[in-house]
Structure 1
Amino acid sequence: MSDALAILLVLPLAALLQGAAFWSAFHPPAGLGPLACFLALQALAAAAEALLFRRLMPAAQREPSRAALLHLWALSFFVPCAGGLLEVLASVAGARLAIAREARTTDIVGRPEFVSHLVSRVSHAAGTRVQARLANRHAATGDRLAALVAIQQLPTRTTGTLLRELLADPVDDLRLLAYGMLDQAENEIVNRIFACEEALTRASTEAEQLALHRQLAELHFELVYQRLAQGDVYHHAIAEAEMHARRAQALAQGERDAALCLLLARLALARDRADEATPLLERARELSFPRERLLPWLAEAAFRQGRHAEAAAIVGELARHAGTPALKPVIDYWTR
């Protein structure tokens, strides 16, 4: 049966029953309770209206039929005529105003390739304003303590100098917390050094010895890089790092290790021996180490040797690459 024919048949019946229900409310038949008579006729009228309104609703919203009919019957029973009609109008408006959504397809992508030479370009938050507030001794103690706690997650190499200055701060809590942070960072590295030294005594293959000597060199240099070593400890850490790097390089597989050449060059710069650093940096480049990562140390070595024109040219080359934010002031100074 078509919708138009069904509407023509049900509409008069629904109107007749609804009219009878209203009539019985004001003129109840003799011998029958007025409320019971009205509710019975209203239930029949609501059923007829539910059939009518379901035919008027958009096709997509007519199913499931039982739920739709029950919903329309309840609306028509409790709100005669208007309830079901409003539901139909809302359904039609919703269907007209519905926005078609494009189907979102998914696809499988491959695992991204790790590019090692981009690791150095990852920058951490400098926390400059927090450190400035911490260094201000006129600020409230609570604010300075909060600032000190906030910089705990920053790399020690960026906060080491400030933490050492706080060791002479007049506020006891700041001194103790700064000492604890420095001591914790140093102990973590020292414990790893002890573990590697113990493993080195048990190493039986050349590959294991190479890996452990290299790791020991990096850990000792980390004490210098994070500014945790001072005075005699500083020179001892550099000497130990160089010793392990040389021993690793003396092994068969270590001869062509570009990272070891770079580490030895940085150790030479730390000992203010730029003339030794330059050949090591050139050797690292010959061993296929990315040149853009060597540029800062090549420029530093050239500057320390008094070759300022060459240093400026290297910094100009560095400016064409995406350098770290820490190098931006240097690049701006040499290229302006």
Structure 2
Amino acid sequence: MHPILLGFAAILLEASAVAALFLAENGLALLLWFLLLHGLASLALALSAWHYLPAYYRATRRLTLWLLFNFSFFVPVLGPVGLIVAALVSVYWPHLIAYRPFGNVSLPEFDLSLHHASPQFGQGGIKSRLANTVIPTDRRLQALLSLGDVPAHIASPMLHDMLDDSTDDVRLVAYGILDAKEKQINAKIHDELKTLAGTGDDALRLVSLRHLAELYWEHVYSGLAKGDLRLHALETATGYLARALELAPRNPGLWFLKGRLLREQQQPDAALAALDRAVACGLPEERALPYLAELAFERRDYAAVRAMLDKIASTQITQKMQTVIRFWASGAPEKTL
């Protein structure tokens, strides 16, 4: 049947149902008669209104019809009137029904200032919150969990301190974060070892050997490896680095890493030679200057320290390094020695 005819039939049936309520008779028979007429009117109106719905609403025929029928049947008079109005709107004013399917949108312009999200806590704030045992445990745990996104060499000392905390939950969470960071490095080492074993190309072997040396060095630099494990990581990193240098003897990055490894192994003279070699091979001097200044300080060559810090002052430096440079520029070390 045509939707318009169904609509008129629904109106007549609904009018008949309402008129039946005003008959002099009353009782169960009258109620059943009303429900029958009203149900037929609701069914006819649901079928009529369904034809005027947008196509994407007609995709699920049974569910849509069931919804329209229920709306009309369980809201007598007002329900059918509402469906009629909705059908008229969809026919004569379809632009009022907003349907915006998924589409392509242009990428937003990259904003460098939003590239790194601001941390929830500053490093000092985390330290003070973790050290203060008066603070509720849940707030200390919140600060502790934020260390999961902090670089390992910054987070590791604080996490190790929390292993001796009096609260069980704090100790367990600290251990879990340390373990997760260590497993991340070990997983990368495992993948790199598989890559190294599966290639005979010298260029690829060089990349794998360098990555392995850097990953074992990360165990040491981040403070995750302690005691014998630290010594093992240093020796293993040195071994892979030596093999990498055999393939690329003039690679400045490899010599720079060797200098840091040797300094950690308490070999200052060899470390100085390696850092000088790195600069000679093309490493920017400003990258090596902080380490050269540390080596000069350890051998008590304070004039060299000041000279190197003067060179660092001409480059972009952190606030902490600015404080160090101002201290040495004031001549304070000479007064205290």
How would you bin the TM-score normalised by the shorter chain? 0.5 to 0.7
Q: Report the Cα offset of residue 269 of structure 1.
A: 1.1
More divergent stretch after superposition (173-182 vs 127-136): 127-136
Matches within 5 A, 1:122-141: 126-141=122-137
* 1:290 corresponds to: 284
Judging changes above 3 Å, is the alpha-carbon distance between structure 1 residues 262 and 126 closer, same or farther for their aligned structure 2 residues? farther
Q: Report the Cα offset of residue 272 of structure 1.
A: 1.7
Q: Report the Cα offset of residue 273 of structure 1.
A: 1.3
1:330 aligns with 2:324: yes
Residue type matched to 2:286 in 1?
Answer: E
The whole-number CA distance in structure 1 between the counterparts of 2:154 and 2:326 is 21
The whole-number CA distance in structure 1 between the counterparts of 2:256 and 2:262 is 10
The whole-number CA distance in structure 2 between the counterparts of 1:328 and 1:148 is 29
TM-score normalised by structure 2 residue count: 0.60
The answer as to whether partners of 1:274 and 1:302 remain within 8 angstroms in 2 is no
The answer as to whether partners of 1:278 and 1:298 remain within 8 angstroms in 2 is yes
* 2:161 corresponds to: 165
Residue in structure 2 matching 1:303, options 297, 321, 325: 297
TM-score normalised by structure 1 residue count: 0.60
The 4+ residue runs of structure 1 with deviation greater than 3 A are 123-126
The whole-number CA distance in structure 1 between the counterparts of 2:200 and 2:132 is 54
Structure 1 gaps of 5+ residues are 1-110, 112-122
Residue in structure 2 matching 1:238, options 231, 234, 237: 234
Q: Which has the higher contact order (CA 8 A, sep 6+)?
A: 1
* 1:248 corresponds to: 244
1:274 aligns with 2:268: yes
Residue type matched to 1:199 in 2?
Answer: T
Matches within 5 A, 1:171-182: 171-182=167-178
Q: Report the Cα offset of residue 331 of structure 1.
A: 2.0
* 1:225 corresponds to: 221
Judging changes above 3 Å, is the alpha-carbon distance between structure 1 residues 157 and 303 closer, same or farther for their aligned structure 2 residues? same
1:216 aligns with 2:196: no
* 2:313 corresponds to: 319
Residue type matched to 1:258 in 2?
Answer: P
The count of corresponding residues between Structure 1 and Structure 2 is 214
What's the C-alpha RMSD, in Å, of the aligned pairs?
2.0
Q: Deviations over 1:250-284 (max 9, x none)?
A: 11xx1110000000000011112111111111111
Residue type matched to 2:253 in 1?
Answer: A
* 2:259 corresponds to: 265
Q: Deviations over 1:35-55 (max 9, x none)?
A: xxxxxxxxxxxxxxxxxxxxx
| Rg (Cα) greater in structure | 1
Q: Deviations over 1:198-243 (max 9, x none)?
A: 2211211111111111010000001111111100111111111111
